[in-house]
């Protein structure tokens, strides 16, 4: 039986990305055609593997060894965990040796292979949940030998290459090669004698030196698995590619698939280095890089606040010419001449002049907000394994012409802090501050065979004058009550917009108002008693809040003894607070939707549209052209390549990888669709050719079928959904914006540059329930003008205010409407859209959930005599200053 079922199970449990899964599939196939064994004929193994994977022309070891060249940031350590899991489950292999090239990676690997750590590689693997593999390291193996505990069912040995190299300083053998009486041989010899030792080499380009190669060969493993982002060595005539690369997933693919940041070259508009001294250019680059760094800090904080995720602290990497240059840069950056000493104590130097162990801990913790480091200076010493996700700016101050430097230095900054692209340019981009000698990297990036593609970001002088801050826009209810809003820090400020004077200024009254506000918020969770803010002024509610406030209120302590101050009129403050909440809140209920009984959903049977699928019959040879080297591989196809017993299984196994398809629920439909696909291909191909097409194009075919299935999704309409109002009204949320440190613009006047609308902050409102806001288009600004003129009050809801979700493909995404406004008789949810998008599937899906939500909210409002809700979807070209709100609602309301 094929072991593909193990591949599917492991890929699902470990959430493998497509390149990781493909690597596992290759390992599965290789171990089928060349089973790992001490008795294996290495030449025969090479011949059979080469017949299916022609990129392998040699193992470069004394044992079968395969190199998986995966771009930095794709996840090589997790793939190691998948390899080990597969070999254990599918082939019963129990002994693994993981090799690290340096101390940094060695410690990282030990951490990631240790249970209950954040990045534990076997998380979700049931076979290792109860009895995890025993971890043996360079520090623990002697103790385990002494205790007789080295013979475990599954053992993972993790060693630094220096621990096993056969040649060390002074001619002494490493301790691992010393005789141990307990086992009758050295631990190294014990490992070499194991019948199933598999060797995994992290950053395998580091093990091509003579001593390392000899030590690895002497371990006599049955199989070697190499992982690197750099599948070549630097020779005197340029890079020399590995002969044993079985899978190449370069940086360009990782960028295209969205697994890493997008690098961008940053330079000044019309910049000409002619006539400028090297020192002047260097200082300009440092200044520009730090200005950009400060802008990125704001963008990252804004994104984090908007999305309720951890704030990422970015840092800058400065590449120095040599250790002397690095020391000069260190002194300059910490001096008062550089941003008035702002970065003193926030910069570290990493090069051969500094002991690695003294800085490695700071490097490994540079992501943490309690680590003050914002600038790292290095001289080509950024070792592999330093896997930070918050490097956002690189300032190279020396020539960078080696491809290794491009992939490794830039590669250090490509990891994404949230694990995936966010769609926010600043969060997804790595900035490389270019100078005159960095042109070599730009030229390399523009080369069609380059492993990377660099975007360009041209900065104008005016951009440096525009400083930005994260601005907190507060609901006017908070400022009206005199309550403190979000804490400001170095890059966060209150909006600064002019607001109405607070109702309470006396500290004692402010304290009473704060206690009353919290008590009213608690009561909002009892919608049967307080269905809206209008109920807060009722005598029984006022009495209840008065009792709670009196139990918590303590008068402020006076600095001078003997001075007494009368207690504030608590009842009056509570009444005024209730009135202010009603005036400066729109009653947005919290509605929770729950199904009654089991929810049934799936896909209806349908006829596939296969008119666009016409894969040609594969020839006896496939030509694969490498983009990097122009090398052409000729891949032969044989009938023995087909792995599935039924042709339909290719389609089905591809479809069940999608998260919204459960095999048990959809088996009949899946095989029906698969049969349609196979029959279509049979109309112009033989069965052998159909099998080859399905094998070669399985993923593309599965995606094509899955895309058509989305149009036939069904949900059991007979299932009753019970909606429950959990709160009669919800407190309005603060919103964070990135904005220029300039006064907000008047919302009545369009800015000169409407194409950059999202740059500006607007204020001057009388009826908006927050002090400032942003608009994504001038249409939204014009709608705000209408609302200011005709609504009683309005707001731009923050993310999470409604908790409505719509279906987009197989995902359920949060819907955040653009405006909510209250009139004399209705509460409106308004959404202006481009006229060309009015029939867009996602727009209509959002409208459906909004209309349903408004129906439930209206039902709740009827229970206490409140205002009904209505959803209004407005095309952008219908919004102009002369339009009335009544007309827009009548014309476009749902």
- The pLDDT of residue 496 is 47
Pairing relationship of beta strands 65-70 and 245-249 according to DSSP bridges: parallel
| Residue 536: both structure tokens together | 């807060």
- The pLDDT of residue 830 is 95
pLDDT(235) > 90: no
pLDDT(213) > 80: no
Class of the CATH domain delimited by 255-465:
alpha beta
What does the mean pLDDT of the chain come to? 79
- The pLDDT of residue 817 is 92
pLDDT(630) > 50: no
What digits encode the pLDDT tens for the residues 559-593?
Answer: 445 555 678 888 999 999 999 999 999 999 988 77
Region 702-721: mean pLDDT is 74
pLDDT(267) > 80: no
For the ranges 179-183, 728-732, 873-877, the one whose mean pLDDT is highest: 873-877
Region 467-492: mean pLDDT is 68
pLDDT(880) > 60: yes
- The pLDDT of residue 40 is 86
Region 253-262: mean pLDDT is 82
The CATH superfamily assigned to 4-249 is P-loop containing nucleotide triphosphate hydrolases (3.40.50.300)
Give me the residue spans of the domains in the chain: 4-249, 255-465, 601-715, 723-892
CA-based R_g, the chain, Å = 33
Q: Under a CB-based contact definition with an 8 Å cutoff, are residues 758 and 776 in contact?
A: yes
Residue 199 pLDDT level (bands cut at 50, 70, 90): very high
Q: 186 or 152, which is more confident?
A: 186
Region 29-37: mean pLDDT is 92
Residue 319 pLDDT level (bands cut at 50, 70, 90): confident
| Residue 596: both structure tokens together | 């009654």
- The pLDDT of residue 87 is 94
pLDDT(212) > 70: no
255-465 shares its CATH topology with 723-892: no
Burial 603-615 (b: 16+ CB within 10 A, else e): beeeebebeebeb
What digits encode the pLDDT tens for the residues 47-98?
Answer: 999 998 999 999 988 999 999 998 877 888 899 999 999 999 999 999 999 9
- The pLDDT of residue 321 is 83
Identify any residues that bridge with 158 across adjacent strands, giving them in sequence order.
98, 137
- The pLDDT of residue 719 is 54
Q: 55 or 624, which is more confident?
A: 55
pTM of the model: 0.56
pLDDT(128) > 90: no
What digits encode the pLDDT tens for the residues 420-454?
Answer: 888 888 888 888 887 555 556 556 655 655 555 55
| DSSP state for residue 128 in the 8-state scheme | G
| Residues in Cβ contact with 138 at an 8 Å cutoff, skipping those fewer than 6 apart | 106, 158, 159, 160, 163, 176
Percent of the chain at pLDDT > 70 equals 77
Sequential DSSP letters for 610-672: -TT--PPPP-SEEEEE-TTT--EEEEE--GGG---SSHHHHHHHHHTTSTT--HHHHHHHHHH
CA-wise closest residue to 888 among 841, 837, 831? 831
- The pLDDT of residue 782 is 92
Q: 103 or 674, which is more confident?
A: 674
Sequential DSSP letters for 707-719: HHHGGGEEE-TTS
- The pLDDT of residue 617 is 61
Considering the segment(s) 723-892 as one domain, its CATH architecture is 3-Layer(aba) Sandwich (3.40)
- The pLDDT of residue 168 is 43
What digits encode the pLDDT tens for the residues 15-25?
Answer: 888 899 999 99
Rounded distance between C-alpha atoms, residue 358 and residue 334, angstroms: 19
Rounded distance between C-alpha atoms, residue 65 and residue 56, angstroms: 10
């Amino acid at each position: 039986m094929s072991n593909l079922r193990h591949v599917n199970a492991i890929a699902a449990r470990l959430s493998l990305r497509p390149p990781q899964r493909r690597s596992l599939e290759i390992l599965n196939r290789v171990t089928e055609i060349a089973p790992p064994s001490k008795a294996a004929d290495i030449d025969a193994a090479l011949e059979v593997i080469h017949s299916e994977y022609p990129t392998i022309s040699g193992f470069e070891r004394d044992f079968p060894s395969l190199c998986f060249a995966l771009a930095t940031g794709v996840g090589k350590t997790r793939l190691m965990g998948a390899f080990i899991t597969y070999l254990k489950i599918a082939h019963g292999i129990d002994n693994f040796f993981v090799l690290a090239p340096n101390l940094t990676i060695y410690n990282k690997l030990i951490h990631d292979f240790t249970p209950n750590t954040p990045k534990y590689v076997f998380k979700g693997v049931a076979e290792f949940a109860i009895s995890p593999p025993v971890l043996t390291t360079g520090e623990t193996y002697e103790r385990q030998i002494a205790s007789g505990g080295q013979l475990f069912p599954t053992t993972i040995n993790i060693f630094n290459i220096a621990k096993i190299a056969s040649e060390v300083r002074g001619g002494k053998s490493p301790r691992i090669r010393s005789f141990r009486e307990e086992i009758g041989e050295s631990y190294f010899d014990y490992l070499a004698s194991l019948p199933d030792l598999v060797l995994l080499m992290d950053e395998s380009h580091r093990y091509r030196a003579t001593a390392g190669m000899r030590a690895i060969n002497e371990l006599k493993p049955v199989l070697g698995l190499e992982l690197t982002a750099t599948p070549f060595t630097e020779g005197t005539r340029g890079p020399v590619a590995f002969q044993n690369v079985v899978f190449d997933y370069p940086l360009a693919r990782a960028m295209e698939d969205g697994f890493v940041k997008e690098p961008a070259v940053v330079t000044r508009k019309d910049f000409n280095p002619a006539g400028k001294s090297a020192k002047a250019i260097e200082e300009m680059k440092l200044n520009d890089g730090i200005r950009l760094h400060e802008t990125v800090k704001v963008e990252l904080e804004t994104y984090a606040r908007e999305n309720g995720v951890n704030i990422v602290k970015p840092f800058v990497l400065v590449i120095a010419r040599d250790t002397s240059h690095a020391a000069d840069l260190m002194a300059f950056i910490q001096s008062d001449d550089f941003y008035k000493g702002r970065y003193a104590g926030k910069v570290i130097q990493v090069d051969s002049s500094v002991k690695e162990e003294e800085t490695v801990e700071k490097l490994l913790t540079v992501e943490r907000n309690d680590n003050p480091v914002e600038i790292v200076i290095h001289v080509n010493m950024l070792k592999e394994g330093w896997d930070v996700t918050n490097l956002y700016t690189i300032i190279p101050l020396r020539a960078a012409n080696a491809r290794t430097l491009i992939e490794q230095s830039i590669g250090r900054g490509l990891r994404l802090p949230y694990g995936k692209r966010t769609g926010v340019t600043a969060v997804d981009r790595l900035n490389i501050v270019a100078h005159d000698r960095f042109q070599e990297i730009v030229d390399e990036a523009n080369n069609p065979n380059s492993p990377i593609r660099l975007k360009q970001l041209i900065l104008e002088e005016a951009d440096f004058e525009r400083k930005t801050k994260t601005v907190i826009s507060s609901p006017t209810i908070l400022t009206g009550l005199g309550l403190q809003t979000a804490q400001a820090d170095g890059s966060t400020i209150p909006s600064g917009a002019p607001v109405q004077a607070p109702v309470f200024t006396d500290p004692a009254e402010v304290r009473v108002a704060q206690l009353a506000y919290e008590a009213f918020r608690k009561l909002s969770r009892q919608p049967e008693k307080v269905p809206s803010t209008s109920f807060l002024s009722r005598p029984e509610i006022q009495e209840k809040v008065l009792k709670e406030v009196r139990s918590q209120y303590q008068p402020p302590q006076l600095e001078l003894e003997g001075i007494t101050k009368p207690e504030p009129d608590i009842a009056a403050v509570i009444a005024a607070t209730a009135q202010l909440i009603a005036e400066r809140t729109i009653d947005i209920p919290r509605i929770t939707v729950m199904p009654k009984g089991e929810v049934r959903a799936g896909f209806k049977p349908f006829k596939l549209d296969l008119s666009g699928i016409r894969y040609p019959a594969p020839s006896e040879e496939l030509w694969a052209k490498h983009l990097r080297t122009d090398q052409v591989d000729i891949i032969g196809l044989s009938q023995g390549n087909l792995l599935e017993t039924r042709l339909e299984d290719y389609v089905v196994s591809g479809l069940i990888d999608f998260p919204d398809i459960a095999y048990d629920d959809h088996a009949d439909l899946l095989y029906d669709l698969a049969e349609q696909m196979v029959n279509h291909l049979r109309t112009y191909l033989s069965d052998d050719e159909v099998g080859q097409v399905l094998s070669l194009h399985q993923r593309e075919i599965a995606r094509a079928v899955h895309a058509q299935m989305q149009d036939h999704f069904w949900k059991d309409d007979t299932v009753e959904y019970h909606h429950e109002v959990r709160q009669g009204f919800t407190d309005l949320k603060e919103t964070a914006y990135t904005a220029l440190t300039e006064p907000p613009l008047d919302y009545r006047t369009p800015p000169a540059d409407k194409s950059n609308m999202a740059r500006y902050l607007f204020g001057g409102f009388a009826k908006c329930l927050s002090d400032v806001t942003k608009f994504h288009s001038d249409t939204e600004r014009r709608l705000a003008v209408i609302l200011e003129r005709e609504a009683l009050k309005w707001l731009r809801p923050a993310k999470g205010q409604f908790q409505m979700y719509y279906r987009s493909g197989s995902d359920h995404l949060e819907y955040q409407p653009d405006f909510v406004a209250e009139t004399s008789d209705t509460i409106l949810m308004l959404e202006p859209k481009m006229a060309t998008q009015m029939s867009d599937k996602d727009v209509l899906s959002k409208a459906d959930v909004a209309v349903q939500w408004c129906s439930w909210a209206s039902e709740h409002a009827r229970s206490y005599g409140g205002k009904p809700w209505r959803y209004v979807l407005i095309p952008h070209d219908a919004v102009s200053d002369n339009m009335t709100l009544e007309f827009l609602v009548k014309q476009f309301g749902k």
